[in-house]
Amino acid sequence: MNNNEIVLVLDFGGQYNQLIVRRIRDLGVYSELFPYSTPIDTIKKINPTAIIFTGGPNSVFDNESLTIPKEILTLGIPILGICYGAQLIAFLENGIVKTAETREYGGKNIIYSNSLIFDSLPNTGICWMSHTDYVDQIPNGYKILASTDSCKVAAFANIEKRIYGLQFHPEVVHTENGNKILENFVFKIAKAKGNWKMKNFIDSSIDKIRTIAGTGSVLCGMSGGVDSAVAATLVHKAVGDRLTCVLVDHGLMRKNECSEIMSVFKEGLGMNLILIDAKDQFLSKLKGVVDPDTKRKIIGAEFVRVFEDVSKSIGAVDFLVQGTIYPDVVESGFGQSAPIKLHHNVGGLPAIINFKGLIEPLRDLFKDEVRKVGVELGLPNSVLMRQPFPGPGFAIRIIGDITESKLSVLREADAILREEIQLANLQSEIWQYFAVLTNVRSVGVMGDMRTYDHMLALRAVTSFDAMSADWAKIPWPVLEKISNRIVNECKNINRVVYDITSKPPATIEWE
């Protein structure tokens, strides 16, 4: 964290937990997700400006329910409970929580009373509900602040203690004025100053890196993407020429990727960047592997082995830098949140690595925040807006086993997609776009001959922070041109489909 002001978000396993952190940071206040089981002594030591209890799938009165010591409500710290978090407050304070006969889900008309948390809001609006349990009777000392026709206690509070509960979700866009509600809690109730700035983050990160690295030497894995570029730049500012960057060609890169990266970072930015050809090493380990998480673990382990070998060749290196970002950590499994997929740089790391430690300066940032740091650091737009590319590369964009022929086909198809998006001037409107070689073959007719070849999927999404995304509405003529070029120019592809699934329920990458 970059200053003493922090809103602690305690994770009870809800689906919108990362959005809460995101919304608070957007207000200019640093926020971070902690497990619900964080000890009270740790919370006291952090001394947060405010605490937010998230939603979650449990019932507060079940034996397996996730709970916290009631002492947390006596610390004098402003607290906001959302959905399950609100029910937990009521339960701990001896209110009554019940289970409804049917789950309440979706937009509801809500009536607000005059209170600080709803200051400057209209008296009525739309809120987003997603719950089965509800607060039937509020605890002594609390008052009802909002209601819907089906939920008498849509919001309640102990004004004196500055403890508030919302049965609905202000963090989702479906709740009208949801951001204003969070803003009122953070600034008018918790009295936050709002000094979360990228400049402050950069200064504190550089200081932290210097403290961790000491006089040691540092190695950074460079993928060419914005995450590793920004991480490397931060570390370079901290340790100077004690940083060596390594670009590993694992054979899973996009067309001309390595030469472009070397041109930008070594020749253009003057970084000490070494290119390692490790194609045979990675592809031999991946031969016959079809499970995506196994692929990620193998790739994560081999990356570290390569870095260890480089360390020996250039002299002992003390620390390894990774461009891990917040969504990587969250999706790999956090607290009570279910793991969505292992990221090669989080869940894919081997248990033992021959470095004194890892340096991950971006671990607490969302993707758009990383780009803001890059702007502050003066990185060129060509780097900051480079199309995101996962560390495992095409290994997770080829469904099933990986072969040289599949890699060749996918490289060409992916290059065509990216070229046509650029020619259509859509690159600034689409967050991410790429091709996936599916594990499906289909019958086709080409040149009056029957074919039985690969089906290629195209994926393009719009997003703000990669935690949620919508499929991009690419104009039909552009999609038509992309499809025609791929089936005509790429061998072994006879069918092209377009993925129109949002995140959630899907993820951006297929694997």
Q: What is the CATH number of the domain that holds 402?
A: 3.30.300.10
Tens-digit pLDDT profile for residues 60-90: 888 788 999 999 999 999 999 999 999 999 9
Give residue 349's pLDDT band: very low, low, confident or very high (50, 70, 90). Answer: very low
Q: Is the pLDDT confidence value at 335 over 60?
A: no
445, two tokens: 């007719």
Flag whether 1 is in a domain: no
Residue ending a domain, choose from 137, 155, 189: 189
Give residue 266's pLDDT band: very low, low, confident or very high (50, 70, 90). Answer: confident
Tens-digit pLDDT profile for residues 378-406: 888 878 888 888 888 999 999 999 999 99
pTM for the predicted model, two decimal places: 0.65
Flag whether 271 is in a domain: yes
Q: Is the dihedral of CA 464, 466, 467, 471 positive or negative?
A: positive
- Do 253 and 164 sit in the same domain of this protein? no
Instruction: Quote the percentage of the chain above a pLDDT of 70.
Output: 93
Q: Is the pLDDT confidence value at 342 over 60?
A: no
- Do 358 and 476 sit in the same domain of this protein? no
Flag whether 510 is in a domain: no
User: What pLDDT, on the 0 to 100 scale, is given for residue 382?
Assistant: 78
Overall number of domains in the chain: 3
Q: How many CA atoms lie within 13 A of 456 on its CB side?
A: 28
Flag whether 208 is in a domain: yes
Q: Residue 211 maps to which CATH number? A: 3.40.50.620
Q: Is the pLDDT confidence value at 341 over 90?
A: no
Higher pLDDT, 304 or 82: 82
User: What pLDDT, on the 0 to 100 scale, is given for residue 1?
Assistant: 43
User: What pLDDT, on the 0 to 100 scale, is given for residue 330?
Assistant: 64
Structural domain for 146, as ranges: 7-189
Give residue 331's pLDDT band: very low, low, confident or very high (50, 70, 90). Answer: low
- Do 184 and 295 sit in the same domain of this protein? no
Give residue 357's pLDDT band: very low, low, confident or very high (50, 70, 90). Answer: confident
- Do 16 and 104 sit in the same domain of this protein? yes
Say how many residues make up the chain: 511
- Do 207 and 145 sit in the same domain of this protein? no
- Report the alpha-carbon distance of residue 90 to residue 377 in Å, rounded: 46
Instruction: Quote the percentage of the chain above a pLDDT of 90.
Output: 60
- Do 340 and 425 sit in the same domain of this protein? no
Is residue 336 classed as helix, strand or coil in its secondary structure?
Answer: coil
Give residue 351's pLDDT band: very low, low, confident or very high (50, 70, 90). Answer: very low
Q: Is the pLDDT confidence value at 361 over 70?
A: yes
- Report the alpha-carbon distance of residue 331 to residue 343 in Å, rounded: 8
Flag whether 203 is in a domain: yes
**Mean pLDDT comparison of 192-201, 248-257, 303-312, highest-scoring range:** 248-257
- Report the alpha-carbon distance of residue 305 to residue 325 in Å, rounded: 22
- Do 98 and 124 sit in the same domain of this protein? yes
User: What pLDDT, on the 0 to 100 scale, is given for residue 352?
Assistant: 44
- Do 180 and 116 sit in the same domain of this protein? yes
- Do 375 and 459 sit in the same domain of this protein? no
Tens-digit pLDDT profile for residues 112-125: 999 999 999 999 99
**Among 370, 384, 360, 330, CA closest to 503:** 330
Q: Is the pLDDT confidence value at 350 over 60?
A: no
User: What pLDDT, on the 0 to 100 scale, is given for residue 65?
Assistant: 85
- Do 299 and 408 sit in the same domain of this protein? no
Tens-digit pLDDT profile for residues 26-52: 899 999 889 999 999 999 999 999 999
Tens-digit pLDDT profile for residues 290-302: 999 999 999 989 9
**Among 430, 411, 424, CA closest to 508:** 430
Residue ending a domain, choose from 166, 189, 212: 189
Flag whether 139 is in a domain: yes
* Residues classed as catalytic: 83, 169, 171
- Do 166 and 43 sit in the same domain of this protein? yes
Question: Region 89-102: what's the mean pLDDT?
Answer: 89
Residue ending a domain, choose from 163, 189, 215: 189
Q: Is the pLDDT confidence value at 344 over 50?
A: no
Tens-digit pLDDT profile for residues 172-221: 888 999 999 999 999 999 999 998 888 888 988 999 999 999 999 998 88
User: What pLDDT, on the 0 to 100 scale, is given for residue 332?
Assistant: 53
Q: Residue 70 maps to which CATH number? A: 3.40.50.880
Flag whether 507 is in a domain: no
- Do 127 and 171 sit in the same domain of this protein? yes
Tens-digit pLDDT profile for residues 464-488: 767 778 999 999 999 999 999 999 9
For 471, the enclosing helix (H) or strand (E) is: strand 469-471
Flag whether 376 is in a domain: yes
For 369, the enclosing helix (H) or strand (E) is: helix 367-377
Compute the mean pLDDT over every residue in the chain, rounded to the nearest whole number. 88
| DSSP characters over 164-220 | EEESS-TTSTTSTTHHHHHHIIIIIIS-------HHHHHHHHHHHHHHHHTT--EEE
